[in-house]
Amino acid sequence: HVQLVESGGGSVQIGGSLTLACAASGLTYTLYCIGWFRQAPGKEREGVAVIDSGTGRTVYADSVKGRFTISQDNGKKTVYLQMNSLEPEDTAMYYCAVHLRGLRDTCAQSVGDFRYWGQGTQVTVS
C-alpha cells in the first residue's frame, strides 16, 4: 500500500522560496512517475512537475519552468520541489502523487494517470 506524506509548505513573501518534500512508503515498484500537482480554490487540479524514477526525465508546467526544480532521492523514496521566485499565482494546495508506469510508458502530468495521492501541503504567497 503506497503512502505519500508531503511537508515543507507554508507562507512566504512574493519572490521568496520554499522546498517541498514528499516521502513515499510502500513503494516497491521500480518504475514510476512521481510528481507534484496543485489546486487553488475554485480551480482544477493541475500538474506542476513530474519526474521519472527510472530515467530521471522531468516534465514541468510552463508556468513554473525556470522557477521550480523537481528532484528525487531514490534511496529514500523522496521527491523534492524547490520553488523559487514565488508569485501569488503559486498559492495552492500542493499534492504529491505516484503513477506506476509500464516499461515503455513515459511520464506526463495527466492527473487521471496518478493513482496514489498524498494529503497535500498548503503554499501561500503574499
For residue 108, which amino acid is it? A
99 and 79 Cβ atoms separated by less than 8 Å: no
28 and 41 Cβ atoms separated by less than 8 Å: no
DSSP string, 52-101: ETTT--EEE-TTTTTTEEEEEETTTTEEEEEE-S--GGG-EEEEEEEEE-
Bridging pattern class, strands 121-125 and 10-12: parallel
pLDDT exceeds cutoff 90 at 113: yes
> Residues 86, 54, 110, 112: is their CA dihedral positive or negative?
negative
**Residue 123 in 3-state DSSP?**
strand
* pLDDT tens by residue, 29-80: 889 999 999 999 999 999 999 999 999 999 999 999 999 999 999 788 999 9
* pLDDT tens by residue, 1-38: 899 999 999 999 999 999 999 999 998 888 999 999 99
pLDDT exceeds cutoff 90 at 102: no
**Residue 111 in 3-state DSSP?**
helix
